[in-house]
Amino acid sequence: MKKIITYNVNGIRSALSKGWMDWIAAVNPDIICLQEIKAHPEQLDLKVFEDAGYHHFWFPAEKKGYSGTAILSKSKPDHVEYGCGIKDYDFEGRVIRADFGDVSVMSVYMPSGTTGDIRQTFKYKWLDDFQQYIDELVKKRPKLIIGGDYNICHRAIDIHNPVSNANSSGFLPEERAWMEQFINNGFIDSFRHFNKEPHHYTWWSFRAGSRDKNLGWRIDYQLVSQALEKQLKRAVILPEAKHSDHCPMLIEVDF
């Protein structure tokens, strides 16, 4: 059984300063998908991860202090794929994948459109391109886990106030429709597979005590290809972990 965590840490150096490694030691995940690392490996003491028993693979954005993904793993992957081969996205370090036998684990940091029209347009192009990329990938790697910050709330149950956020980036009808068809195209929303209840979120604004009041959004997912359905054993959100404005999500998969 493998425990896999996805976590937008909003800066790995910031998370480390808040006791992140102690938390990792307690949870003891086998594979960790990180997003928004905001650092290059040479800016980190990599021995910290090695001493904890992890191989580590980093795909930072070329722009310093921005975006970036990583995968930490207790067992060495057979292969690590850096990027998706599309320059605009690889420049921002948005995708990294590790293959373990016939199972692939991807960490993905999807663009946000919250800063305005230019980035929202970029996000829509990303969604189209990412769909095509995954359509091709699953032909070769059908057992695929895509953990990450999708920057989209799928349904009204996934956001604390769907009415007032109807025109907010991350909950726009086009984004939600994309999420629906992406899942229906061969994936399982692992959290919703086990939990149909409301009020479960993975991100909260820093404003107005949103986290204490649990006024959040569920935008971090581990989507698991249907080929792995029988091997998917558990999926939980871990809101007690407070190293970021996001919280981690954990799944257990038998492989």
Cα–Cα dist 179/84, whole Å: 19
Q: Yes or no: say if 131 and 104 are a contact pair by the CB < 8 Å rule.
A: no
The amino acid that residue 22 corresponds to is D
Concatenating the DSSP letter of every residue in 103-133 gives EEEEEEEPPP-TT-HHHHHHHHHHHHHHHHH
Residues acting as catalytic residues: 149
Concatenating the DSSP letter of every residue in 150-175 gives -----SGGGBS-TTTTTTSTTS-HHH
Q: What is the bridge-based pairing of β-strands 69-73 and 55-59? A: antiparallel
Rg (CA), the chain: 17
CA-to-CA dists, residue 100 to 135, 241, 255, angstroms: 20, 27, 9
